[in-house]
Amino acid sequence: MEFPLRNLNDAEKAALTNGPIWVGILIGCADGEMNPKEIERIEEVIRTKTFSEQNDVHYLYKELTNENLKAKIEVEFDGLGGSAEDKANKANANLEGLNSVLAKVNSAYAAQYRDSLHDIAVEVAKAAGGILGVGSISSDEKELLDLPMINKF
C-alpha cells in the first residue's frame, strides 16, 4: 500500500483491502439472498475502480486486483457464514471495525475510501434487476447504501 497507510499493520491494511468486498457482500445479502449478478458486479466494480479512482484509494484497488480477485471474493463470501443473513451481519461487523483503522489514516484518505465504498454499494445494489438500474434497489439495500456503520470523515 502507498503512503497514507504506512502507519497501519498488516491486519489493518488487509481489512481496508477487504472493505470493498465486504460492502459488496453486505449489499448483495441485504435482501436475504445473494444474486449471482451481484457477485459478478462486485468484481467488475472493483476492477473498474483500479482505473477510475483519481485519488490515493486507487492504490488499494490496484493491490486488490493484483491478486486473484474472483478467488478472494469467494474466500470472503464463504468465510462470512452460511446464510445470507449471517454473511450480511458479519460483513456489517467487519465494516464497523474499519472505523478504528480509518481513524489512524489522514481524514482526506478516510473520506475518499468511504466515498469509494459508497460507490460500490450503489453499483452492487443496482445489479440485481430493474431496467437499466431503475427500480432495482430493494428497500433493504437502500437502508445500507449510506454505510451507516462507517463513520463519516
Within a domain: residue 2? no
pLDDT in tens, the chain (153 residues): 456 788 899 999 999 999 999 999 999 898 888 878 888 889 999 999 888 888 889 888 888 888 789 899 999 999 998 899 999 999 999 999 999 999 999 999 999 999 999 999 998 888 765 445 555 677 777 788 889 999 987
Q: What 8-state DSSP symbol labels residue 68?
A: -
Expressed as residue numbers, the domain containing 37 is 9-144
Q: Is 152 part of a structural domain of the chain?
A: no
Domain-embedded: residue 107? yes
Output Rg (C-alpha) for the chain, integer angstroms: 14
Q: Is residue 92 part of a domain?
A: yes
What contacts 24+ positions apart, CB below 8 Å, involve 104-109? 104/7, 104/8, 104/12, 105/4, 105/5, 105/7, 105/8, 106/4, 107/153, 109/4, 109/5, 109/55, 109/56, 109/57
Residue in the structure block whose three cell numbers are 465486504: 22
* Residue 149 located in a structural domain: no
Number of compact structural domains in the chain? 1
